[in-house]
Amino acid sequence: VVADGKYFSDVMAAKRDARTIRFQCSLSSDHDVELNSLHVAFMVSTDILIGKSWSVDDQPFRPYPLEFARKTKHQFDGIIQKMTLETTLGPIVFSFPEPTYVLLQDNRNWGDNFEVRVNYRPTVQKGSFDWRKEDRFDVAVDMVLPVETALNKSEPVTIEEGADWVKVDLRTGVRKG
């Protein structure tokens, strides 16, 4: 993770067995910064969710909404150790070694997916916050997938200005960088 060249992340993903992946990361900064959000997100296509249900910890299963509605955008927001997403392929299970702030968000307003968002702080705390350079955000989760999955290492992507580059008008409130 890099923003303004100042944020650092140690990321590790390792297969525990044919269907389980352990994901760990530790985020930090070399300076104090004001943020609106700090989270790690896992996105799941709506195509395999609709008609199915989800659950947290030992709570009853709840169906995914058939249509997007702003009032139900946040399907769940709280501290948990386990989230199960039923899919047409079988369940996806997120297990956290310690109680963790998690948001299940319906993203159909922006794309065709639901997002499991592991938050640095509760989503209900609105507005910006100061993230101090001595603060760390550590995430660890085991994901049990419905099918055997290969783990591929992605390569860094470099974006370079080209002929199709759209210049940003800084007067619109968008800050350079």
Give the tokens for residue 9.
């992340």
User: The tokens 């085991």 sit on which residue?
Assistant: 142
- Note whether 103 and 123 are within 8 A (CB): yes
Residue 123, pLDDT score: 58
Q: For residues 91 and 93, give the distance between their C-alpha atoms in angstroms, rounded to a whole number.
A: 6
Taking the C-alpha atoms of residue 51 and residue 117, their distance in angstroms, rounded to an integer, is: 21
Q: What is the pLDDT along the chain (177 residues), one digit of tens a residue?
A: 444 445 556 677 888 888 999 998 888 888 888 888 888 889 999 999 999 999 999 999 999 999 998 888 899 999 999 999 999 999 999 999 999 999 999 999 998 999 999 988 765 566 778 888 888 888 899 999 999 987 777 676 777 778 887 776 655 555 555
Q: Which amino acid is at 63?
A: P
The pLDDT assigned to 16 comes to 83
Phi, psi for residue 47 in degrees, rounded to 5: -55, -35
- From the CB of residue 101, how many other CB atoms can be counted at a distance below 10 Å? 19
Residue 136 is predicted with a pLDDT of 85
Q: What is the pLDDT of residue 125?
A: 65
- pLDDT score recorded for residue 3: 43
